[in-house]
Amino acid sequence: EVQLVESGGGLVQTGGSLRLSCAGSGFTFTNYWMTWVRHAPGKGLEWVAHIKEDGSEKYYADSVKGRFTISRDNPKNSLFLQVNSLRVEDTAVYYCARRCASTNCYIYWGQGTLVTVSS
Partner 1 sequence: QSALTQPASVSGSPGQSITISCTGSSSDIGNYNFVSWYRHHPGKAPKLMIYDVSYRASAFSDRFSGSKSGNTASLTISGLQAEDEADYYCSSYTSNSTYVFGTGTKVTVL
The reply on whether position 51 binds partner 1 by CB under 8 A is: no
How far apart, in whole angstroms, are the C-alpha atoms of residue 35 and residue 110?
Answer: 11
Closest CA to 91 of 16, 2, 3: 16
Contact residue for partner 1 among 17, 26, 107, 118 (CB under 8 A)? 107
For residue 95, what are the CA distances in angstroms to 30, 31, 114, 119? 19, 19, 9, 23
Closest approach of Cβ 72 to partner 1, in Å? Answer: 17
Among the listed residues 13, 6, 8, the one whose alpha carbon sits nearest the alpha carbon of residue 90 = 13
Closest CB 44 distance from partner 1, rounded Å = 4
Binding mask 17-36 toward partner 1 (x if CB under 8 A, else -) reads ------------------x-
CB 75, min distance to partner 1, A:
26
Q: How many residues bind partner 1 (CB under 8 A)?
A: 27
